Structure 1
Amino acid sequence: MVKRPSKPRTAPLREPNPPDIRGGRRRPPDPQQPALPFDPMPDRIEPCLALLKAAAPSGPDWIFEIKWDGYRLALHLDHGKVRIITRGGHDWTHRFPTIHAAATALPVGTAILDGEAVVLDEMGRSDFNALQQALGGRSGKRSADEAIFIAFDLLHFDGHDLRGLEQESRRHLLEDLIPAAADGGIRLSQEIEGDGPAIFAAAAEHGLEGIIAKRRDEPYRSGRGGEWVKVKCIQSDGFIILGYEPGSGYGGIGRLLMAAMKEGKLQYVGGVGTGLSSRSAAILRTEMDKIVTKKPAAPTGRKLEAVWLQPVLVAEVEYRGWTSDQKLRHASYKGLRDPDEGGEVFQLRGDRG
């Protein structure tokens, strides 16, 4: 299903036979050519975020990719020095040794790559729970040797800020830096050729989380401005854990009791009884035992046996939809959001149902 596009480039990105601009491979400068000014390398760039849509867009204005399920990262390279920065601005360089090693081998002097750290399952799909376990769970200190970096944008390249370039040109430069066949610690998020609705249907058939659509002619803008769109095959969002009902499941957890935000207050949205493994349940139970309290942070109805928690743990939950009374349908636990990243909590609308 996934392949590089066969369409020709709309315009050459470099003049014929230019000096090679990649670090470590420079030719002597041509005195007849004007020197391009260098842009200072930013310490951090706020990421472009995809806007959630119910249906995939259609038409030639869009570029399509798989939606990867992991941790959003920016990979900073500066003449051999590597920094791996999370979406929240934390330095996690030490936690991704495989990505770090692969970054040092890239043939470039300075660069900033936008992408996702993932752990792949046996089918090549990203597995968020496996990534969390590799990192040691919430507040974990382990490094994730099996995590790789899926690169999907290039924001700075050998002294030049690329954010003002259109998406397609940035994409071509990224393909020059990371070949489509790369299969090591840094890989290319390949463009998918076809129309949005058909690509989305294929993604759902293959059990993927969803797809990303990017406007071909737009520059890179931080925030959620609509230049990128995400369409999910399976809904997945962050919810507060209010408490749990004891049971015979892993870690003595029968069902997690979840809440979303609505008009600035927590609202109970039902329970999650599946998705826990022995390992993830042990990690979760360790965290929950630290924050037991006497009363729930939001009304949940009569639950006499429940153990209540301070509302500080944000869980990633997959679900298939909503009931008419604003409860999650067919929900499954995926893992805890990392506290360093200040996980977003799902916002209920008044018309959700």
Structure 2
Amino acid sequence: MTKPPRKSSKPLLHESDAPVRGRPRQRRDPAQPSLPLDPMPARIEPCLAQLKTRPPKGEDWVFEIKWDGYRLSVHIEPTGIRILTRGGHDWTHRFPAIKLAAMWLPVGSAILDGEAVVLDEQGRSDFGLLQQSLGGRGGKKISSDAIFMAFDLLYFDGHDLRKSELDVRRHLLEDLVPAGGQGDIRLSEEIEADGDQLLASACEHGLEGIIAKRRDAPYRSGQLGDWLKIKCVQSDSFFIVGYEKSTVARGNIGSLLLAGRKGVELIYVGSVGTGFKEKDAWALREMMDSITQKTPEIKYAGRRKNVVWLQPTLIAEIEYRARTDDGKIRHASYKGLREVQDTAAVYEIV
């Protein structure tokens, strides 16, 4: 159930029970003073969740389900709708159903933060299904299956909400996108539960994990600890920097060699040799054979044979169970390729 908004120390922009209106019904009286309006940002760097192994405790935190898809911001502007990726690329044309749903929201201007997902038959977000709906990495298909799970409201009819606490932003968002809706823009609902119990339930139902957010935090771009992610199974994006040839594996790919980022440097994080589907493996092999190079982009002291080094342009989504003491991933499985525009999502080593 959606948690009723807590009484905030800051005034809400909208307190009545009437639906939110984006435009006035009648002309403004010139004798009345004009309220100052904030300019609408062209783009906002997203707030990112820090990875933790256990949910936080205390009433300062609220929880949501973690969605497995593409992070997007939906801009409702006087000139039209824009849908931007985490890296700032315009993907409006790839999500026409989300665009149409945004046009019908009862607001003149707004910026919604959320995730584009495709749900499976059990209502769980599935990254592989989302990739298929977009035609795979580098595909040019539009997605008719993706929906937008909205979890924050950053701008509302002339007011920049980033300095407002989360409870305020959520109260306004729930007016725009009511809980329980089944349209192409839906509310990612807050869940009233103990964090440990919620995580256990999420894992039992095959979900990716949960998100914890500070109630009274403003919206701050970057990974600053206001949001936390706790996963049932670890999943991150890595550059493919090489592959090991095999005569018996699908696509003749024995394993992929992976790297994360540390500043401008690429650091080897391990390999993955499972999770490939026959068709996807051969398509991946064809892409890799077009970006080979003689020297590695990483410092590599391994003893693998028949390694082909690659330009770091392909980004793989990898699921794994644990990490070694030196930061290598263990029990990894290949999930799919991310779009070339999504380099912002590559794992950062701290």
TM-score (norm 2): 0.89
Deviation at 1:332, TM superposition (A): 0.6
Q: Does 1:334 align with 2:332?
A: no
* Distance change in 2, residues 1:27/1:53 (3 Å): farther
Q: Does 1:285 align with 2:285?
A: yes
- Unmatched 5+ residue regions in structure 2? none
Q: Which residue of 1 is the match for residue 7 of structure 2?
A: 10
- Unmatched 5+ residue regions in structure 1? none
Over 6 Å off, 4+ runs:
30-33
Q: Does 1:235 align with 2:218?
A: no
Q: Is the 8 A contact 1:80 1:104 kept in 2?
A: no
- Paired with 2:262 and 2:29, the residues of 1 have a C-alpha distance of 62
Matched residue type, 1:69: D
* Distance change in 2, residues 1:261/1:50 (3 Å): closer
Q: Which residue of 2 is the match for residue 310 of structure 1?
A: 311
* Distance change in 2, residues 1:32/1:137 (3 Å): same
Q: Is the 8 A contact 2:237 2:317 kept in 1?
A: yes
* Distance change in 2, residues 1:19/1:314 (3 Å): closer
Q: Which residue of 2 is the match for residue 144 of structure 1?
A: 143
* Distance change in 2, residues 1:322/1:191 (3 Å): same
- Paired with 2:14 and 2:23, the residues of 1 have a C-alpha distance of 20
Matched residue type, 1:132: Q
The within-5 A match list for 1:1-353 is 3-5=1-3, 7=4, 9-10=6-7, 13=12, 21-23=20-22, 26=25, 29=28, 35-79=34-78, 81-244=80-243, 245-261=245-261, 266-297=266-297, 298-299=299-300, 301-323=302-324, 326-347=327-348
Deviation at 1:285, TM superposition (A): 2.3
* Distance change in 2, residues 1:14/1:27 (3 Å): farther
Q: Is the 8 A contact 2:85 2:91 kept in 1?
A: yes
| Aligned partner of residue 65 in structure 1, secondary structure | strand
- Paired with 1:198 and 1:48, the residues of 2 have a C-alpha distance of 25
| Aligned partner of residue 238 in structure 2, secondary structure | strand
* Distance change in 2, residues 1:196/1:34 (3 Å): farther
- Paired with 1:16 and 1:212, the residues of 2 have a C-alpha distance of 27
Matched residue type, 2:193: G
The CA deviation string for residues 101-151 of structure 1, in whole angstroms up to 9 with x for no partner, is 111111111110001111111111111122122222222222111111110
- Paired with 2:214 and 2:324, the residues of 1 have a C-alpha distance of 34
Q: How many residues align?
A: 346
| Aligned partner of residue 342 in structure 1, secondary structure | helix
- Paired with 1:255 and 1:15, the residues of 2 have a C-alpha distance of 55
Q: Is the 8 A contact 1:19 1:29 kept in 2?
A: no
Q: CA RMSD in A?
A: 2.7
| Aligned partner of residue 39 in structure 2, secondary structure | coil
- Paired with 2:172 and 2:197, the residues of 1 have a C-alpha distance of 27
| Aligned partner of residue 167 in structure 2, secondary structure | helix
Deviation at 1:189, TM superposition (A): 0.3
- Paired with 1:285 and 1:24, the residues of 2 have a C-alpha distance of 53
- Paired with 2:79 and 2:39, the residues of 1 have a C-alpha distance of 17
- Range moving further from structure 2, 169-178 or 271-280: 271-280
* Distance change in 2, residues 1:18/1:68 (3 Å): closer
The CA deviation string for residues 257-306 of structure 1, in whole angstroms up to 9 with x for no partner, is 22345696545443312222234324422321211234444425333333
* Distance change in 2, residues 1:20/1:181 (3 Å): closer
Deviation at 1:312, TM superposition (A): 2.9
TM-score (norm 1): 0.88
* Distance change in 2, residues 1:70/1:249 (3 Å): same
- Paired with 2:227 and 2:115, the residues of 1 have a C-alpha distance of 15
% identical aligned pairs: 59
| Aligned partner of residue 175 in structure 1, secondary structure | helix
| Aligned partner of residue 211 in structure 2, secondary structure | strand
- Range moving further from structure 2, 88-97 or 10-19: 10-19
The CA deviation string for residues 215-264 of structure 1, in whole angstroms up to 9 with x for no partner, is 11111111111111111111112223232233444433232222345696
